[in-house]
Amino acid sequence: MTGVMVVTGASRGIGAATARLGGKAGYKVCVNYLGSADRAEALVEEIRKDGGTAIAVQADTGNDADVVRLFETVDTELGPLTALVNNAGVLGGEHRVDEADAEHLAELWRVNITGYFLCAREAVRRMSTRHGGKGGAIVNVNSVAAKLGGRDRRAHYAASKGAGNTFTVALAKEVAEEGIRVTGVMPGLIDTDFHAPYGRERIERLGAAVPIGRYAQPEEVAEAVLWLLSDKASYVTGTMLEVSGGR
């Protein structure tokens, strides 16, 4: 299935790779971004030069009004939604649980959990046969940290991604008879800006410890996302696909 795709947090990393691949697959792509307008617009230009259709829309996915505006813009400029990739997320820093505070945790939940709910809400309102839609697919980008508990000082991040996994399964059951499939990917160690603050030495060292012997590129996760969105995965819903090199 191709059609219209929204990718949140698409100005870089896994989101950008997914938007780029979606454009090549024939989707009309909405590149959502929060603050990196230059990167988002450059990606849109790249997709257009390859013969695709794309727009960039700024929106904070944890803000209700922004999310409504994002999807209304897509309605107007691209047409009926058929695919959502919930990808926008934050790490929330690194700290032990005994160093946590409510303010920072609330911001993490707002983006990594509430944001997924809000975007999925708007997608379901458009794609569900219950609402007059023609069906579609949602892929939630979570993390293998949900299974492993995250590395030291990242329990908060792992917990938010665990919530994303549970949400994926619950929503899949809720809309299974309404023409919508809901799945998720759980990336492992991926070479993105997420790791930039910690330097190349760290990702190289961690990559060597992965059973497959290396870290992955964002495109390897994007390929999994595009498969889950496609008709080739027509009997797949309510499940998480690990892209983690065996971790």
Distance between CA atoms of residues 6 and 185, nearest Å: 16
Total number of residues shown for the chain: 247
Q: Which of these is catalytic: 157, 198, 215, 235?
A: 157
Concerning whether 157 is annotated as a catalytic residue, the answer is: yes
For 62, 63, 117, 150, 238, the CA distances from 109, given in Å and listed in that order, are 9, 12, 11, 16, 22
Catalytic residue positions, numbered: 157
